[in-house]
Amino acid sequence: MFFKTLAFFSFLFVLLNNSIAQDSTSYVIVNEIKVIGNKNTREHIIVRELPFKLGDTIFVNKLVETFERAHSNIFNTSLFNFVTIEHAYFNDIYISVVITVEERWYWWPLPIFEVQETNFNTWWQTRNFDRANYGMFVVKENFRGRKERIAFKVQAGYTEQVGFSYSIPYLNQKQTQGLSISYSYSRNREVNFATLDNKRLFYKDENRYLKKEIYTKATYEFRPKLYNNHSLQISYTNLDVVDSVVFYNADYLNNNQSNAEFLSLTYYLKRDKRNNKAYATKGYFYDFQFTQNGLGVFDKDINNSFFAISYRKYLQLHPRVYLSGLVKGKTSINKQPFYFLGGLGYENALVRGYEYYVVNGEHYGLFKTQLRYGLVENKIFKMNWLPFSKFNKVPLSIYLGTYFDGGYVSENKTTPIAIGTNFLNEKWLFGGGASIDLVSYYDIVFRFEYSFNNLNEQGLFIHFIAPL
């Protein structure tokens, strides 16, 4: 009896071992790729995003992972509301891959209403409509079905502006090189010239324009494979401010200048393997930037540069449970005039809980951490009363979260001593709290966060982009 039992388990072990070995070494060959639903988008734009091609071999135990990666790549083009990838076997080895897409709406004649603040919450404190922009923005996404983008803008309000932009992702047959160009002219009757107690200071004159700016740029992009993107950008700036701005802050530009005309050169590298670039829950992203303002042409007094780097990681700990983190830093090579100076407190580069402050400095570091629970994930709501097929199928995800951030900014050397000091510079800033995030199609994100900071302040804040 003992030997029969031993023989039986030995047979099971050999069978299981062979099955595992077969699964890890068995493969399929991609014999066909079909794309369905791309009424406007050229097929080669979609196939470009696949991590495999016709004739490629895929191990069976990597098939699900490979198709998930392909789904994320195609979805992250921002051309489609929904993407599904399926496969069928011709025989034991050869498979057909079927990609079904539902295209987004690509033509957007949109009215402009936006607040001219560091974030929505600073505007909501005063609800000052003098700090709002309004006008018309016309954009054609996926122009000619080639993922090109062309846009025109006419804007009045706080910042009067006209501009246009055009981008084409692929210039060559290999689809590795792209180009974009843009131009804008803007003018303001109010100028932020310094900060006091880490709040922005403004000079305003209703009877004249205090700042006029021409800005144009051209960007060359090189994307040799799927996830690495290199870009080289050259830009031209012609800036005029009135003498009163320079009177209040001689370092607004440089050496009491009220006019600057200069070229800038930027190299930017990013590697993006997120599952959803608008709101990631899995994958990673890192980028690096070097910018040199002033190339020895036109205004030779403009000469400053900086490095910036960031890394983000997104982990799925358990079904519906996600952990994410970000580290980011910037360092300047030489003195930065106020016009070029960045820091924390602008858009998403902030320690949550410090939305009402800006912390300018030539060097800064930032980290963010967040734990999220998917209360609702990718639930589809059909709005049959809407006659437009590109809008009546609404995906919704809801995430509950908790977070903790920290940051540090060096001394702000562009605020004149006569004005005062900025007490948040050269000290650690910490903030944390709880959040509810709503995510839907067309990259829509609403975040509601109740935050605390180490100044013992607290409040409810609203944001419209992913936390990190």
Do residue 252 and residue 312 come from a single domain? yes
Tokens 């992972």 sit on residue? 65
Whether 219 and 229 have beta carbons less than 8 Å apart is answered as: no
Query: Mean pLDDT, to the nearest integer, of 442-468?
Result: 95
Number of H helices, E strands in the chain: 5, 24
Do residue 79 and residue 113 come from a single domain? no
Do residue 141 and residue 36 come from a single domain? no
Two tokens, residue 267:
């190299």
Do residue 222 and residue 269 come from a single domain? yes
DSSP state of 23: H
Q: Is residue 118 a part of any domain in this protein?
A: yes
Here the CATH number for the domain that contains residue 249 is 2.40.160.50
Q: Is residue 61 a part of any domain in this protein?
A: yes
How distant, in Å, are the alpha carbons of 193, 292, 335 from that of 414?
9, 19, 9
Do residue 396 and residue 331 come from a single domain? yes
pLDDT for 158: 93
Asked whether the predicted pLDDT for residue 5 surpasses 70, the reply is no
Do residue 72 and residue 98 come from a single domain? yes
- Which residues, in sequence order, are bridge partners of residue 292? 265, 305
Residues in the chain: 468
Q: Are strands 445-453 and 199-204 parallel, antiparallel or unpaired?
A: unpaired
Q: Which runs of E-coded beta strand occur in 132-209? A: 132-143, 148-157, 159-168, 177-188, 190-196, 199-204
Closest C-alpha among 443, 429, 420, 36 to residue 200 = 420
Residue type, 421: T
Do residue 269 and residue 250 come from a single domain? yes
Within the chain, what is the greatest distance between any pair of CA atoms? 104
Q: Predicted confidence band at 92 (pLDDT cuts at 50, 70, 90)?
A: confident
Q: Is 3 left (phi over 0), alpha (psi -120 to 50) or beta?
A: alpha
The per-residue pLDDT for range 127-142, each reduced to its tens digit, is 888 889 999 999 999 9
How distant, in Å, are the alpha carbons of 104, 139, 395 from that of 39?
11, 19, 21
Do residue 134 and residue 283 come from a single domain? yes
The continuous run of DSSP H or E covering 120 comes out as: helix 120-126
Say if pTM beats, i.e. exceeds, 0.85. Answer: yes
Residue type, 465: I
Two tokens, residue 354:
């410090």
pLDDT for 130: 86
DSSP state of 255: T
CA distance 217 to 460: 38
Q: Is residue 341 a part of any domain in this protein?
A: yes
Do residue 8 and residue 71 come from a single domain? yes
How distant, in Å, are the alpha carbons of 39, 40, 180, 386 from that of 105?
12, 10, 22, 14
In 214-264, which ranges are continuous DSSP H helix?
A: 243-248
Q: Is residue 364 a part of any domain in this protein?
A: yes
Q: Is residue 468 a part of any domain in this protein?
A: no
User: Which of 103, 127, 145 is the last residue before a domain boundary?
Assistant: 103
Q: Is residue 46 a part of any domain in this protein?
A: yes
Q: Predicted confidence band at 411 (pLDDT cuts at 50, 70, 90)?
A: confident
Two tokens, residue 414:
């562009």
Q: Predicted confidence band at 24 (pLDDT cuts at 50, 70, 90)?
A: low
CA distance 187 to 450: 36
Q: Is residue 206 a part of any domain in this protein?
A: yes
Query: Mean pLDDT, to the nearest integer, of 74-91?
Result: 94
Query: Mean pLDDT, to the nearest integer, of 34-41?
Result: 96
CA distance 51 to 69: 7
User: Which of 103, 135, 167 is the last residue before a domain boundary?
Assistant: 103
| Structural domain span for residue 364 | 107-463
Do residue 99 and residue 128 come from a single domain? no
SS3 33: strand
Closest C-alpha among 336, 385, 324 to residue 360 = 336
Query: Mean pLDDT, to the nearest integer, of 388-408?
Result: 95
The per-residue pLDDT for range 281-303, each reduced to its tens digit, is 999 999 999 999 999 888 888 99
Here the CATH number for the domain that contains residue 40 is 3.10.20.310
Whether 33 and 41 have beta carbons less than 8 Å apart is answered as: no
Asked whether the predicted pLDDT for residue 19 surpasses 50, the reply is no
Do residue 29 and residue 164 come from a single domain? no
- Which residues, in sequence order, are bridge partners of residue 434? 402, 450
Asked whether the predicted pLDDT for residue 11 surpasses 50, the reply is no
Count of domains for the chain: 2
Query: Mean pLDDT, to the nearest integer, of 430-440?
Result: 98
Q: Is residue 75 a part of any domain in this protein?
A: yes
Name which residue leads in pLDDT, 282 or 256: 282
pLDDT above 90 covers a percentage of the chain that reads 78
User: Which of 68, 103, 138 is the last residue before a domain boundary?
Assistant: 103
* Lowest mean per-residue pLDDT among 81-95, 223-237, 271-285: 81-95
Do residue 321 and residue 354 come from a single domain? yes
* Lowest mean per-residue pLDDT among 119-123, 307-311, 439-443, 447-451: 119-123
